[in-house]
Amino acid sequence: MGGDSTGALIDGLPRLFSAAGTEHPEGRWRLNVGRALPRDVVIDGHTCRVGRPAGKPDAEIFASAGVWREMYEGKLSGIEAFAKGELNVRGSIEKALRFETMFFRPDAGGLEYSIEMVPVGRAKVSALFAGDPEAQPLVLMHGLGATKSSWLTVVPELARRYRVIAVDLPGFGASTKPRARYDAEFLASSMVEFFDVLGYDSVLLAGNSMGGRVAMEIAMLEPDRVQAIACLCPAAAFSRRPILWFVKVARPELGFFAPRIPRSQVISSIRQLFGDPEVLPQEWYEAAADDFLLSWRSPRSRMAFFAAARNIYLDEPFGEQGFWARLRLMGPPALFIYGGKDVLITSRFGGRVQSELPTAQVEVWEDCGHVPQIEHPDRTVDQMVGFFERMSGGAERDVLAAS
């Protein structure tokens, strides 16, 4: 497709803008598509216009002309293109995600999704919904300092089978940041209330890192609400805590005064999350750094981050109400995946989980770091789907036997 024809498609976006009854974020999106000149799409309230680049955009989207045409025709979604490495973003990933939802797209086989703010107690939870609304609900929860975008690599495939709901936990991403403890119990209780608001009696759960810890907490507190859980490199109570005294006296409010973090340090830290950092293009790290640094500007975001990190460390391991004793009694079927190259939650935790919870399925992927769903998305989908289907089949057999 030539630059002129691509530009004509972009120029025609205001005619496809769907303003009626929809909550739109105001902002400026810069589109860099094929050989067409870059254009800014500016949305202000319920109006949309396209013009020449001006100022700093909230989000930039990069795609080839062919990919843009497929998206325009409804054959492909931006999430699918991103998961395939055919679309890149800079700036706010949240704004980039919302862009597509604000325009009419034909139903030609591409993934359809929405992003909604769901009221949950004193918070509003930002959630991405994809897949058949009548399908089995699968809730995806992110790790510390991450957002729902950390699941984008697997959302398209999972949405073929489930009603996928990827959330920003309270305090993170686009969700609101109420004053709260931000420990596992608070986040778990918030998610149970989230299920209530959506009308779900029970769900499948998957969580990465901190999200895995929240999944376990939900399964321990409200086992009847959970059909099965998949925990990817989940946080768990540390048996050895050499600086416990310091963490106890350090207040999360200190996050309000946290200094600016150099961009190079953010990118270096993100790269360390992967067993093989070269498996991802540099553009991905740049986008992830943009998103993290945008969040870090907010004092409330920093306070939530520090509070959650502090409570992960303070998680009591021992005693009758300690984490490991409670884990032994956890009822819902559980899959645990650990990375052999994970520098945050080492694979030794897998052995401890297996000894405390013999019924769990525990795997160690020697070629993986801390974020399996990004580093090995196909394998992650296969393992999660296979596990969930086996558990569902077992439940159905039990019902048939009882009848």
User: Full-prediction pTM beyond 0.75?
Assistant: yes
Say whether 314 sits in a helix, a strand or coil.
helix
pLDDT of 246 strictly over 60: no
- Confidence (pLDDT) at 394: 46
Taking residues 12-26, what's their average pLDDT? 78
Q: What is the Cα–Cα distance from 97 to 115, expressed in whole angstroms? A: 8
For 181-201, how does the pLDDT look when each residue is reduced to its tens digit (9 = 90+)?
999 999 999 999 999 999 999
Which residue's structure tokens are 């989908």?
Answer: 381
For 287-344, how does the pLDDT look when each residue is reduced to its tens digit (9 = 90+)?
999 999 999 999 999 999 999 999 998 999 999 999 999 999 999 999 999 999 999 9
Report CA Rg, the chain: 21
The CATH topology of domain 3-101 is Nonspecific Lipid-transfer Protein; Chain A (3.30.1050)
Per CATH, the number for 114-402 is: 3.40.50.1820
For 339-388, how does the pLDDT look when each residue is reduced to its tens digit (9 = 90+)?
999 999 999 999 999 999 999 999 999 999 999 999 999 999 999 999 99
- Confidence (pLDDT) at 25: 75
Intervals of CATH 3.40.50.1820 along the chain: 114-402
Q: Give the residue among 218, 231, 213, 374 at the shortest CA–CA distance from 308.
A: 213
- Confidence (pLDDT) at 45: 75
pLDDT of 205 strictly over 50: yes
- Confidence (pLDDT) at 253: 60
For 33-88, how does the pLDDT look when each residue is reduced to its tens digit (9 = 90+)?
999 999 999 998 789 999 999 999 999 999 999 999 999 999 999 999 999 999 99
Q: Give the residue among 77, 143, 61, 73 at the shortest CA–CA distance from 115.
A: 77
For 91-120, how does the pLDDT look when each residue is reduced to its tens digit (9 = 90+)?
999 999 999 999 998 999 999 999 999 999
Name the residue with higher pLDDT: 398 or 321.
321
Intervals of CATH 3.30.1050.10 along the chain: 3-101
pLDDT of 401 strictly over 60: no
| Contact status, residue 27 vs residue 37, Cβ threshold 8 Å | no
Question: Phi/psi of residue 17, each to 5°?
Answer: -65, 130
pLDDT of 402 strictly over 90: no
For 120-173, how does the pLDDT look when each residue is reduced to its tens digit (9 = 90+)?
998 999 999 999 999 999 999 999 999 999 999 999 999 999 999 999 999 999
Q: Which amino acid is at 108?
A: A
- Confidence (pLDDT) at 346: 95
Neighbouring CB atoms inside 10 A of 395's CB total 13
